[in-house]
Amino acid sequence: MAKVKVGVVGLGAIGKRLMDGMKALFTDEIEIYAVCDVDHQLTETVSREYSVERTFTNYVELVNLPELDFVYIAVPPKFHEKVALDAIAAGKHILCEKPLANSLEEASSMLEAASGKNLIHMMNFPLNYQGAMHKMMSLLEDGYMGSLEKIELNLHFPEWPRAWQKNSWVGNREQGGYILEVGAHWIQFIQKNFGQIEYIEGEVTYPEDETLCEKSVWAKMKLDNNLIVHLDGDSNFEGIERVELVLHGTDGTLMIENWGTLKGQRSDEELYEIPTNDVEVQPIFHHMIHAYKGNPADLYDFKVGYNVQVVLEALKHPNLADGIHLKSQYK
C-alpha cells in the first residue's frame, strides 16, 4: 500500500513534535508530503530538515493538493475552524490539535461539517496512547485502591508559557492559557474514563493586563455519576511545575505525576513509583494508519473534542462562581 500523504499546517513546537514522531517511527507508512506556515523562512527551514519538497504560506493551496490524504492542523486555535472547513470541503482526512476550536460555536461548526462525511476527523489527545495511563486504569479496575472516591487535577506552572513554547498567542487570553492548552488533555481523559462533567463551579483569576491569560483556577466539577473532580491551577509563581492527576480510593491512591510517571500508595505504605514498561501501547499514528485502511482504531473525533470544549468554555464563563449545568450542551 502506498504511503499515507500528510500535509502539515502550522510549524510551531507541537507541529514539529508530531512530525518527529512520523519521521522516527513511520517512515515506511507515512510521508510528510507538504508543509505550510505563514512564516516563509520557517517553512523553508522545516522543508529542508524533513526533506519536504512542497512548501506553502497559504494553507488553501496545501489542502487542495489532489494527492494529499491527511491535513494535520497545528495552527493556533482561532484558525482551526477555517482550516478544517476548507480541508473537509477538499475531501481530506484531518488530524487536529487541541482544543478543537476557539469557541463552542466554532467547535460545533467543525463537528457538523465533518459529520456524515466519509472522512476521518481525529484529534491529538496523546494521553490515550501512554502506558502509564493504561496501567493506572488497569490497576483501578483490578481493585488496587478500592472504590474510587475523588479525583484531583493539579496544573501548576511557575513559568507560563513554558520555556519551550514561547510564541505570540499561548500566553494570551484570547486563545491561550494553561486551562486550554493543558487542561484540555486531562478533561478529555477524565470524560473518557470516569464520566461526563455535568456541573462545574469555581473561580478563575486573571492579571490586570486584559491581554494575558489566567493566573489561577479553582473548580469543583461533578460527573454524571456524582463523582467529584477538584481542579487546582496556578501560574507564574516561585516553585516547581506540577501536572498531576490523583485518584483517591477507599483503600489507596493512584497518581500520574508530570504527565507519565505512575505512583501508588495503599494502606500505610509510602507513595512509590509503579513500573509501566510491561504495558504495550501503540502510538497515535498506528491508529491513524489503521483507520485509513478501514480497520478498527482507537481515535478521538471532533465529537470528543466538542465535548471537551463544553467544559473549557464553562471555565471561562462569567457565571462560573454561581455554578453552571452542562448536561444539555453536549453532543
Domains observed in the chain:
4-124+284-301 (3.40.50.720), 128-281 (3.30.360.10)
pLDDT tens across 87-132, in order?
Answer: 999 999 999 999 999 999 999 999 999 999 999 999 999 999 999 9
pLDDT over 80 at 1, yes or no: no
pLDDT of 268 reads 83
pLDDT of 267 reads 83
* 246-261 mean pLDDT: 97
Residue 274 banded pLDDT, cuts 50, 70, 90:
very high
* 252-264 mean pLDDT: 97
Place of cell 489542502: 63
Strand 252-257 to 242-249 pairing: antiparallel
| Joined grid coordinates for residue 229 | 473532580
State how far the Cα of 81 lies from the Cα of 110, in Å rounded to an integer. Answer: 6
Omega before residue 158 within 30° of 0, cis? no
| pTM tops 0.95 | yes
CA distances from 326 to 105, 311, 315, 329 (A): 15, 8, 11, 6
pLDDT tens across 7-56, in order?
Answer: 999 999 999 999 999 999 999 999 999 999 999 999 999 999 999 999 99
State how far the Cα of 102 lies from the Cα of 306, in Å rounded to an integer. Answer: 11
Nearest to 289 by CA among 4, 1, 2: 4
CA distances from 296 to 78, 286, 287 (A): 31, 11, 8
What value does the mean pLDDT of the chain take?
Answer: 97
pLDDT over 90 at 312, yes or no: yes
Residue 331 contacts by C-beta under 8 Å, 6 or more apart in sequence? 108, 111, 303, 306, 307
27: DSSP letter: T
Residue 160 banded pLDDT, cuts 50, 70, 90:
very high
High-pLDDT (> 90) share of the chain, %: 99
* 247-255 mean pLDDT: 97
pLDDT of 82 reads 98
pLDDT tens across 205-243, in order?
Answer: 999 999 999 999 999 999 999 999 999 999 999 999 999
| Joined grid coordinates for residue 214 | 489566567
Do residues 34 and 55 lie in contact, with contact meaning Cβ atoms separated by under 8 Å?
A: yes
pLDDT of 263 reads 98
State how far the Cα of 287 lies from the Cα of 290, in Å rounded to an integer. Answer: 5
